[in-house]
């Protein structure tokens, strides 16, 4: 088991510097353009694919880093470049994690490569869980999957929303209800292969931030997928549902993690690392501005009102990174989240990103409020971290329930 350490080894430092260079040289120069266009930055994704950043191999190497720091380190550097473009590059990873967390070895080997394509023909994937009436309340999910035994096919119907890459993806991973009586325990995840009839893109959202990342509804109308597209397989699903039914009859309260929750738990520290990257970028912009901007004959950093803000910003960023790295290390080394450390990391880092980017605008004053300076975009981007993959309120609920052992509502 790897010991927790803040010292990156030489290989990790090399990867970090490589990612930082790509973020500085390729992502940042393109950030303002794709934010204004509100379109998927395919040329940047292709550049990332050409050098190996947008690939299954790269993310697998970081995912299996025995220290647990590979993924958070990568996320921080890419999102330091720009959150919208970075999310377009890493958004496929959420669908890939869904398959890794719930799929068989054959499913992993078959579908994850198709999510990325190749450098000459890049593809993206989408993880579809949220619905118009079921965001944090996953028990209210309405998308249904019905098994057609005669054809060994599952038939999916429903509407998903807030799906990154939804509708433009080569592969969609869809969470659906297979047994409505079991609530969230009656959910399962399905692969929807490319060009499957019945799947279409609904509304594409015009967003406040992360505008270079495609977010849309996904509509499923009598979508038929082979039985082999049920992640984990039918035998495993039947066993899980049988246990849940027995517990329900006995009045037991066994907590069975559904497919969507398993995916979100695995990704929470990574989202925290994204927030750290955005916060760090805004802090560095504000620090440089404070050093060079003069008022009343001296740099504004000479004023305690500015200097103390910068001190607080840096302290909060470092604290957020520590929480993220701890949670990532714990997850990788198999240590139980006895105090909901994964949710803690996501909560604190996302709240830090919102606060730090707002402070950066304040330090830049009127300039910070314009699109001539990137902190305005960073502040808009940071708002998403307290919302997606579990709002701050949901993270607090998870933490409170874990600490108290009570079903706090």
Distances (CA, A) of 270 to 131, 299, 327, 328: 23, 37, 9, 8
Q: Which of 181, 285, 389, 393 is catalytic?
A: 389
Instruction: Say if residues 39 and 212 touch (Cβ distance below 8 Å).
Output: yes
* 201 φ/ψ angles, rounded to the nearest 5 degrees: -85, 130
Instruction: Say if residues 304 and 310 touch (Cβ distance below 8 Å).
Output: no
Long-range residue pairs from 102-109, CB within 8 A, at least 24 positions apart, any chain: 102/189, 102/231, 102/232, 102/259, 102/262, 102/263, 103/231, 103/232, 104/231, 104/232, 104/233, 107/191, 107/228, 107/231
Active site residue 389: yes
Side-chain half-sphere exposure of 292, counting CA atoms within 13 A? 7
**Cβ count near 292 (within 10 Å):** 10
Per 3-state DSSP, the chain is made up of helix, strand and coil in percentages (nearest 5) of 60, 15, 25
* 294 φ/ψ angles, rounded to the nearest 5 degrees: -110, 140
CA pair distance 349, 362, nearest whole angstrom: 20
Instruction: Say if residues 354 and 386 touch (Cβ distance below 8 Å).
Output: yes
Given the structure tokens 């998927």, which residue do they identify?
A: 40
Per DSSP bridges, beta strands 171-177 and 294-295 are unpaired
Secondary structure (3-state) at 235:
helix
> If residue 106 lies in a helix (H) or strand (E), which one and from where to where?
helix 105-116
**Residues noted as catalytic:** 389
């Amino acid at each position: 088991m790897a010991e927790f350490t803040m010292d990156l080894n030489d290989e990790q430092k090399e990867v970090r510097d490589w990612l930082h260079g790509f973020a500085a040289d390729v992502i940042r120069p393109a950030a303002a353009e794709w934010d204004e266009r509100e379109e998927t930055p395919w040329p940047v994704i292709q550049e990332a694919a050409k050098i190996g950043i947008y690939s299954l191999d790269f993310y697998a190497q970081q995912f299996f880093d025995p220290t647990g720091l590979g993924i958070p380190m990568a996320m921080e550097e890419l999102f330091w470049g720009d959150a919208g473009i970075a999310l377009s590059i890493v958004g496929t990873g959420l669908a890939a994690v869904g398959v890794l967390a719930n799929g068989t070895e054959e499913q992993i080997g078959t579908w994850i490569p198709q999510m990325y394509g190749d450098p000459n023909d890049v593809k993206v994937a989408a993880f579809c869980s949220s619905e118009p009436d079921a965001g944090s309340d996953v028990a209210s999910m309405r998308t249904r999957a019905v098994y057609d035994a005669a054809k060994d096919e599952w038939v999916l119907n429903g509407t998903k929303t807030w799906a990154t890459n939804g509708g433009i993806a080569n592969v969609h991973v869809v969470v659906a209800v297979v047994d409505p009586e079991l609530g969230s325990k009656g959910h399962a995840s399905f692969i929807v292969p490319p060009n499957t009839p019945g799947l279409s893109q609904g509304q594409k959202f015009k967003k406040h931030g992360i505008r270079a990342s495609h977010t849309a509804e996904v509509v499923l109308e009598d979508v038929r997928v082979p039985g082999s597209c049920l992640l984990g397989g039918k035998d495993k699903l039947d066993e899980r549902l049988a246990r849940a039914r027995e517990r329900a009859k006995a009045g037991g309260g066994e907590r069975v993690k559904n497919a969507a929750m398993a995916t979100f738990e695995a990704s929470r520290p990574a989202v925290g690392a994204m927030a750290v990257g955005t916060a760090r970028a805004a802090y560095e912009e504000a620090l440089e501005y404070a050093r060079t901007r003069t008022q009343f004959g001296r740099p504004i950093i000479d004023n305690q009102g500015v200097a103390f803000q910068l001190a607080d910003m840096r302290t909060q960023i470092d604290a957020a990174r520590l929480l993220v790295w701890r949670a990532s290390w714990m997850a990788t080394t198999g240590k139980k989240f006895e105090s909901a450390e994964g949710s803690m990391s996501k909560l604190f880092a996302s709240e830090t990103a919102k606060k730090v980017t707002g402070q950066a605008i304040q330090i830049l004053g009127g300039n910070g409020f314009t699109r001539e300076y990137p902190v305005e975009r960073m502040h808009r981007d940071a708002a998403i971290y307290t919302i997606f993959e579990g709002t701050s309120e949901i993270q607090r609920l998870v933490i409170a329930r874990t600490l108290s052992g009570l079903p706090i509502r």
